[in-house]
Amino acid sequence: MNTFSSHTFNTSAMGHELRQVVRLGTPILIAEALHMSASFVDTIMAGRYSSADLAAVAVGSSMLFPVLILMMGIIMATTPTVSQLFGAKKLSAIGPFVQQSLWLGAILSCLAVGLLYALDPLFDWLDIRDPIKGIGLSYLHAAALSLPAVAIMQSLRSFSEGLGITKPMMYFSLLGLVINIPLNYIFIYGKLGLPEMGGEGCGWATTISMWASVVGMAIYVYAKPAYHQCAMFTQLHWPQFAVQRNILKVGLPIGFSIFIESTMFAIIALLLAPLGADIVAAHQLVLNFASMCFMLPLSVGMALTIRVGHGIGGNLPQQVKRSVVVGYGLAVGLATLTCLMMLALPGALAAVYTADPLVADIAVSLFIFAALFQFSDALQIAANGALRGFKDTAKPLVLIFISYWLIGLPLGYVLAMTDWLYPAMDAAGFWIGIIFGLSVAAVLLSARLLRVLLKPLPQLN
pLDDT tens digits along 242-252: 999 999 999 99
Contact 196, 189 (CB under 8 A): yes
Task: Count the neighbouring beta carbons within 10 Å of the beta carbon of residue 87.
Answer: 25
pLDDT at residue number 63: 84
- The C-alpha atoms of residue 309 and residue 83 are separated, in whole angstroms, by 5
- Between helix 317-344 and helix 11-49 the angle, nearest 10°, is 50
* Integer CA distances (angstroms), 344 to 19, 271, 285, in order: 29, 29, 17
DSSP label of 278: H
Q: Alpha helix locations (H) across 76-93?
A: 78-87
How far apart (Å, rounded) are the C-alpha atoms in residues 440 and 82? 31
Count Cβ atoms within 10 A of the Cβ of residue 131 and give its class: 0-12 exposed, 13-18 middle, 19 or more buried: middle
How many Å apart are CA 305 and CA 386, to the nearest integer? 5
Structure confidence at residue 321 (pLDDT) = 94
Question: 197-227 b/e with 16+ CB inside 10 Å = b?
Answer: bbbbbbbbbbbbbbbbbbebbeebbeeeeeb
Asked whether the beta carbons of 350 and 285 are under 8 A apart, the reply is yes
Q: Quick one: 358 exposed, middle or buried, by C-beta within 10 A (0-12, 13-18, 19+)?
A: middle
pTM confidence score: 0.92
Averaged pLDDT for residues 104-128: 89
**SS3 state of residue 127:** coil
Q: Which helix (H) or strand (E) holds 417?
A: helix 409-417
| pLDDT at position 60 | 82
For residue 1, pLDDT over 70 is answered with no
Each residue's pLDDT tens digit, 267-292: 887 788 777 778 888 887 888 888 88
Report the amino acid identity of residue 293.
C
- Cα-based distances in Å from 263 to 121, 221, 405, 448: 21, 34, 10, 24
**Number of alpha helices (DSSP H) and beta strands (DSSP E) in the chain:** 18, 0
Q: Tell me the average pLDDT of the chain.
A: 91
pLDDT-derived band at 300 (thresholds 50, 70, 90) equals: very high
128: left (phi over 0), alpha (psi -120 to 50) or beta: beta
Q: What is the mean pLDDT of residues 34-63?
A: 80
Q: Flag whether pLDDT at 4 surpasses 70.
A: no
Question: Counting beta carbons within 10 angstroms of the beta carbon of residue 348, is it exposed (0 to 12), middle (13 to 18) or buried (19 or more)?
Answer: exposed
Query: Per-residue pLDDT for 6 more than 90?
Result: no
Indicate the DSSP class of residue 404.
Answer: I
How far is Cα of residue 205 from the mean position of the Cα atoms in its chain? 21
Q: How confident is the model at residue 461 (pLDDT cuts 50, 70, 90)?
A: low
Residue among 344, 377, 422 nearest 265 (CA): 377
Ramachandran assignment for 192, one of left (phi > 0), alpha (psi -120 to 50 degrees), beta (any other) = left
pLDDT-derived band at 194 (thresholds 50, 70, 90) equals confident
Q: What is the DSSP letter of 314?
A: T
